[in-house]
């Protein structure tokens, strides 16, 4: 993503495909409700082709675990995908940034909606994790989600 978008904050978060521990050059964002067409606050993991880890449709409820410096999205079954011309078998995706442990503590887990999009995935959390994600955005980036979705100015 080239230009900065209000309400969408990039995290320095290495993204690792498991079980092989292969790091990919994905971009990770906290995206707040009401900005850039977001209907709910969520986490974006952007890498063209990564969305193919979701088999059918637009998404699935998957287990998301708090791990030692971040989150792990556990797939229902191993998936073969191709990224940048390389083929991978993926069982889970690690997103490494200690700030994410304020959303899901290490050792805890939840089920979250993991949606597929053209340029990657998004993680839509349940109420408890959503509140913690929005608190993180407020404390770290000084911005809160919009209460009511409003049209954003075009730049």
Cβ atoms of 76 and 31 within 8 Å: the answer is no
Q: State both tokens at 40.
A: 């709910």
Give the C-alpha separation, 43 to 53, whole Å. 16
pLDDT digits (tens, 9 = 90+) for 53-108: 987 778 999 999 999 999 999 999 999 999 999 998 999 999 999 999 999 999 99
pTM over 0.95: no
Helix/strand/coil for 24: strand
């Amino acid at each position: 993503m080239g230009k900065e978008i209000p309400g969408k904050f990039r995290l320095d978060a290495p993204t690792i495909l498991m079980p092989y521990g292969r790091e990919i050059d994905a971009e990770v964002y906290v995206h707040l409700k009401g900005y850039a067409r977001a209907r709910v606050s969520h986490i974006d993991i952007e890498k063209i082709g990564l969305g193919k880890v979701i088999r059918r449709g637009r998404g699935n409820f998957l287990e998301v675990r708090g791990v030692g410096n971040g989150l792990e999205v556990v797939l229902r079954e191993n998936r073969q995908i191709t990224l940048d011309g390389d083929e991978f078998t993926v069982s889970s995706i690690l997103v490494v940034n200690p700030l994410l442990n304020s959303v899901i503590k290490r050792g805890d887990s939840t089920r979250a909606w993991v949606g597929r999009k053209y340029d990657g995935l998004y993680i839509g959390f349940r109420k408890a994790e959503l509140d913690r994600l929005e608190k993180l955005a407020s404390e770290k980036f000084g911005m809160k989600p919009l209460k009511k979705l409003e049209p954003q100015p075009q730049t």
